[in-house]
Structure 1
């Protein structure tokens, strides 16, 4: 059909989320090495226009909600050439230990929690 398969948008959400966490000064791997996982608990996508093969895209990612045990990331995927909004979405995650037990991230990683809270307060999402 000449358009990007819908499942690719979830991969792009993951890339946006990974880069946003990296901006906090911590990679996903480092977060996991410190005993914190972010398993996906729910997701939603809303398709506006299709991305086409060879389109350059922007993934805008920000923290929409956060608590010591949960976090919601929000996303916009736009075509870079004209900033046309292609897809919006959200992913919901729990903060857990490697054995998937809930954990209060503000106790284990207070600096990461503080940074994510500040990111939640930003009016405009950072651009990846």
Structure 2
């Protein structure tokens, strides 16, 4: 399942040249991820924290392909590309709204941490079962029998 969130670039997102500052794309990823949870899983980070669960980012990858500028309307596409008992991996693709040219793509991996102990823990089965149907899985390859 792919979730799309629109975001208008504000002046504070840009550098002196009016180009989106590279570090802000990780914040855009967070916007996409937060709204993915809220809209598709009917869940917020606040809900998780109230249940004693933290989900910090432990890995991040960003591939810059084209610049975005002040006042661009961006389309932030977010999907879950991996899920296991301890972590979830999100994939992101950012384009100008209505265009196919990729500005940035990347991923983040979040692990599940017990809020009180500060240690990695297994993902609660309720959360795992909620997220599992949302994972984008590759199509199985057909065997070539020729």
Give the TM-score range, shorter chain: 0.7 to 0.9
Q: Which runs of 5+ in 2 are unaligned?
A: 1-16, 139-146
Structure 1 residue runs of 4+, over 3 Å off? none
Which digits, 9 at most, give the CA deviation of each residue in 1:69-112, with x for residues without a partner? 0111110011103232100001111111113211111xx3x332
**Correspondence 1:121 to 2:139:** no
The residue that corresponds to 2:102 in the other structure is 85
Higher helix share goes to which structure? Answer: 1
SS in 2 for 1:111: helix
Q: Which has the larger radius of gyration?
A: 2
The residue that corresponds to 1:126 in the other structure is none
**Correspondence 1:2 to 2:18:** yes
Q: Which runs of 5+ in 1 are unaligned?
A: 124-128
Distance, in Å, in 2 between the alignment partners of 1:60 and 1:81 is 12
Higher strand share goes to which structure? Answer: 2
RMSD (Å), alpha carbons: 1.4
Whether contact under 8 Å (1:24, 1:112) holds in the other structure is: no
Distance, in Å, in 1 between the alignment partners of 2:128 and 2:136 is 13
Whether contact under 8 Å (2:88, 2:111) holds in the other structure is: yes
Aligned residues: 120
SS in 1 for 2:98: coil
The residue that corresponds to 1:15 in the other structure is 31
